[in-house]
Amino acid sequence: MTGRDASAAIGRRRFLRGALYASVATLAPSVAAREAAEIHAVVGKAAGRYAAPVFGSVQAALDAAPREGLRPFRILIGRGVWREKLVIDKPWIHLIGEDRAGSVLSYDSAAGMRRADGQPWGTWGCASLTVRAADFRAERLSIRNDFDYVGNLRAPRFEAIGPNGAQAVALMLDRGAERSVLHEVDLIGHQDTLFAEAGRSWFRRCRVAGSVDFVFGGGNALFEECTLHSRYRPDKQRQGYVAVPCTPSAQAYGLSFLRCRLTRDAEVPDASVALGRAWRPGRTLPDGKYGDPDAVGAAVYLSCWMDAHIDPLGWDAMAYTARDGSRTMLEPLAARLYEHDSRGPGAARTPQRRRLDRAAVLRHQRERVLGDWLPQA
């Protein structure tokens, strides 16, 4: 190649590289513009980049959504702590955070606290965010219950409701919720952080932090590549329980954890946290109120990494009220609590930690767990 040819080749490469950079520069604004056009409401100071209406609260933005939505109504949550107690009862609400750690939905009600009418909130009413409609989605934000759990352990401030009144739910998927998606969301509390009570839900790359029963309920919830983080409880030998299902007996799937990580605060001792326990909540039946005999909890850990805070025994028993009024223990072997391919320092092999057989493992792939619903990240 002559010097002239080499110069021409270099010139062509520079031209092509410049054209490529120009095309990328042209593409980036178009993608940003398309995303901005898909935002229908903005909460906070992120308004400058979007043509959507701006609201001063999350509740005001929810009020602006159509009652019978047929497509997503996307609300951008700007940076800040939005202290609001929210109930989503409209379908297709999508909450999109401007910043995963900086866009925070928070409240601080606990079960034993009193509502305006003087009655206690209870576990079913204390959530910071309650979902009662289909096709909810949240991504890149945090949902917290900021009740001072540790402070209340040291100096209780109200009458106990249930075991202690300190149940403080961050997110509840209540009756009416179905096809809920949470992607890259932090859920933070202590006791009863996430109440997955109803419908099918998919959690992907989320972080759930708590101590006692901090993932619980009777819904069909699939967690993929999530972090389940155990928080420290001062002066407690049993630091907590991760998964606490009350799955109806006819429901094949309950709380399913696939490729998740079970981590801990530095202060949480080794062997101090149970994988979970099966819950039999009280239910009013024709012959009285007692632990629901139809609640046969289902929870599985599949290819999960576990730190050494997980007890080698795995699962604990849990008390419930029997039909005759006595307190009875629901033993782990009486429920549907299993593992497969557990890894890390907390992955022990003991008789109480039952393994799924190969056929059961295949039945716990996403397509089988979620059925005809195939959510997208």
Nearest to 109 by CA among 88, 130, 126, 86: 126
List the domain range (segments joined by +) for residue 309.
Answer: 74-369
- Token pair, residue 202, equals 């998919």
Distances (CA, A) of 145 to 87, 186, 293, 331: 14, 11, 31, 30
Lookup result for tokens 């708590």: 210
11 is a domain residue: no
26 is a domain residue: no
247 is a domain residue: yes
15 is a domain residue: no
Q: pLDDT digit of tens for each residue in the chain (377 aa)?
A: 444 454 444 444 443 344 333 333 333 344 344 466 699 999 998 656 788 999 999 999 999 999 987 899 999 999 999 999 999 999 999 999 999 999 999 999 999 999 999 999 999 999 999 999 999 999 999 999 999 999 998 888 877 777 789 999 999 999 999 999 999 999 999 999 999 999 999 999 999 999 999 999 999 999 999 999 999 999 999 999 999 999 999 999 999 999 999 999 999 999 999 999 999 999 999 999 999 999 999 999 999 999 999 999 999 999 999 999 999 999 999 999 999 999 999 999 888 899 999 999 999 999 999 999 988 87
307 is a domain residue: yes
Distances (CA, A) of 325 to 54, 151, 220, 279, 285: 54, 33, 30, 17, 13
299 is a domain residue: yes
61 is a domain residue: no
Indicate which residues carry an active-site annotation: 192, 213
DSSP labels, 292-339: -TTB--EEEEES-EE-TTB-TT-B--EEEE-TTS-EEEE-GGGSEEEE
Residues in CB range of 11: below 8 A, 6 or more apart: none
Structural domain count, the chain: 1
Give the burial string for 103-114 (b: 16+ CB within 10 Å, else e). bbbbbebbbbbe
CATH (domain of 205): 2.160.20.10
Give the burial string for 292-331 (b: 16+ CB within 10 Å, else e). beebbbbbbbbebbbbbbbbeebbbbbebbeeeeeebebe
56 is a domain residue: no
Report how far residue 173's alpha carbon sits from residue 208's, in angstroms, rounded to the nearest whole number.
Answer: 15
Global pTM reads 0.89
Nearest to 297 by CA among 278, 274, 318: 278
